[in-house]
Amino acid sequence: MKAVAVRAGALLGVLALVGLLPLLSGEDPALRVLRARSAEQEPTAEALAAIRADLGLGSGPWALLGDWAGGLPRGDLGTSWVSGAEVLPSVTAGLGVSLTLMGAALLVALAVGALFAAPVLLRGRATGGAPAAMLTSVPEFLLALALLIVLGVWLGWLPTSGWASPAHVMLPALALGLPAGALLGRLVADALPAVLAERWVELWRGAGTGTVRIRAAALRRTLPALAGQFGMVVVGLTGGAVAVETVFAVPGIGRTALGAARSQDLPLLQGCVLVLLGLGLLAGGSASLVRRALLGPALREAGLSLPPPRPRRIPVAVPVALAAVLSGVIGWGLLRDPYAVDLGARLAGPSAERPLGADALGRDVLARLGHGAAATVGTAGAVTLAALLVALVLGLLPGPAAAFADVANALPPVVLGLLVAAVTGPGAGAAALAVTLGAWPPLASHTAALVQEVRASGFLVAQRALGAGPWWVWTRHVLPSVAGPVTRHAVLRLPGVALALASLGFLGLGAQPPSPEWGLLLDESADYAERAPVAALAPAVALALLAALAVSLSQGFPGLRAARTRTRTARKVSSVAAPSV
């Protein structure tokens, strides 16, 4: 009951934040409306007063929040500051497009996941999983750019923008569904070998049960434990749709929210964020219900625990080679000038003078790539450290930490970026804050799970019996036992944080020109990808190498792999029942 109250309080807090957006930005909302309606009109006191009276902005923040919340049950989301139209029709239209796209992407994800899991299910033993791991590590906006360039521009097989026919759904659905499907397939493939090694499988074989039925039962055995992860994949589709809809000019709810954030149309942004939050919570709640239905009586009887996954280790040479390539390119770029403009070399191809070509202003792409590593990877390190400290503090209170994490997990980094940008404006600091707000929940859940394990351990009971005080127990036993695994987990998440920062930069919510941040480089190069493909793909390849390095490290080193296993425990996806005969 207490956890439910904490979750409800966290949700109400988020809704209050959304409702107060017009007054949290630090700028007069009336001035924003005036600029949106007419950029040439002078912001006189009379004009601003008329706008405040028209929108009810002079009644104070709490009255404004009450009016906004009071309109929600009636379906009244307010009026757009830019167009003057009702917000609800725009949100409804965008939601319909996004749900169609997410449905198509989910079908792609299920098909791709089945392809990756099928070899393990048929042969009964683990595979290397390198293709699935690499595809999982590629963020949606990078894959969207690659698909647009190859299938849309070079080959001309599919349309590259718009939403006019079923053909327009294909590329966005592939961009969203391929990484999600690879993740689902990898999760199932990692869990199946351990399940097929359980005692009940041997008993079923001895009883003459057919192979097909055993494989089907093993698959069902793994699904309850992974239901929460499936829900997180759907939440990821919600966040990834913002970038993918932007790349392909799809008029969905994500692109609508991004446009509202850029134009500071806060009422429209409020409606979009509310819908995106609802989709995330619905996905998480549905996954929980599916898990309960699959478990059945085992949930009430404590069930069985899912054996830990036993994936094959990736050779140490793989991460070493990836690190060498990435550091070599970055080091080479750091020796060059990233801001020197040569208009005569605009969009020039690779040459001895510029190994990766030049951008639209004639700047050296290699130089900007090298110097952008500090803005991208360096900021990611600071964000990871901040998220780790927050997680260690909140994780020491397992119940509230888990409850807050459930609500925070429903908000992908892109959605948080939209909220923060609406309050502070776009920038590197805003992007770092948004990613930090989204990075602590998994680490806090991990910390909370470890704290619960340590507090229940026998040696800690003995310490209390010997008269050890709470401070001694926490500082000498609990915190040292928790800090190491959670820190390794945080290090493993650092490349993912860098990708999230790059995604916000790509959407214009992060670093601003002329910064060489990698996401911003992608945004700048997307418009001329056909004329200068090397310059456009260089930051994409660098981000993919960084992600692949993280994946190979997590598979190749036992400490990081143990941290990832602890994360699954923290998400409470380990209680499942063996199938009944």
Segment 526-569, tens digit of pLDDT = 777 778 888 878 887 887 788 777 767 655 544 444 444 444 43
pLDDT at 108 over 90: yes
| pLDDT attached to residue 234 | 74
For 564, counting Cβ atoms within 10 Å of its Cβ (0-12 exposed, 13-18 middle, 19+ buried), the class is middle
Instruction: Indicate the pLDDT class of residue 5, thresholds 50, 70 and 90.
Output: low
Q: Which domains does the chain have, with CATH numbers?
A: 1-74 (no CATH), 87-295 (1.10.3720.10), 316-557 (1.10.3720)
Instruction: Indicate the pLDDT class of residue 578, thresholds 50, 70 and 90.
Output: very low
- Sequence-distant (6+) residues with CB within 8 A of 228 are 284, 287, 288, 291, 571, 572, 573
| pLDDT attached to residue 331 | 92
Q: What is the pLDDT of residues 499-519, one digit of tens each?
A: 788 888 888 888 888 888 888
* Residue 15: Cβ within 10 Å count: 18
Instruction: Indicate the pLDDT class of residue 404, thresholds 50, 70 and 90.
Output: low
Q: What is the mean pLDDT of residues 122-145?
A: 72
| Nearest partner of 19 among 70, 93, 53, judged by Cα | 70
- Sequence-distant (6+) residues with CB within 8 A of 581 are 204, 207
Whether 505 contacts 368, CB under 8 Å: no
| pLDDT attached to residue 565 | 43
Instruction: Indicate the pLDDT class of residue 572, thresholds 50, 70 and 90.
Output: very low
Q: What is the pLDDT of residues 419-477, one digit of tens each?
A: 787 777 778 888 888 888 888 877 887 777 677 666 655 555 555 555 555 555 565 55
Distance CA 137, CA 466 (A): 49
pLDDT at 201 over 70: yes
Q: What is the CA radius of gyration of the chain?
A: 25
Which stretch of 26-35, 55-64, 125-134, 328-337 has the lowest confidence by average pLDDT? 125-134
Which range of 41-55, 389-403, 462-476 scores highest in mean pLDDT? It is 41-55
Instruction: Indicate the pLDDT class of residue 137, thresholds 50, 70 and 90.
Output: low
Distance CA 482, CA 533 (A): 46
| pLDDT attached to residue 112 | 92
Distance CA 111, CA 340 (A): 47
Respond yes or no on whether the N-terminal peptide bond of residue 338 is cis (omega within 30° of 0). no
Give the Å distances, CA to CA, from 558 to 68, 187, 381, 489, 568.
Answer: 51, 18, 22, 12, 15
Return mean pLDDT, the chain: 76
Instruction: Indicate the pLDDT class of residue 26, thresholds 50, 70 and 90.
Output: low
Instruction: Indicate the pLDDT class of residue 175, thresholds 50, 70 and 90.
Output: very high
AA identity, residue 491: V
Q: What is the pTM (predicted TM-score) of this model?
A: 0.74
Residue 320: which H helix or E strand, with range?
helix 317-334
Mapped onto helix, strand or coil, the DSSP state of residue 86 is strand
| pLDDT attached to residue 17 | 72
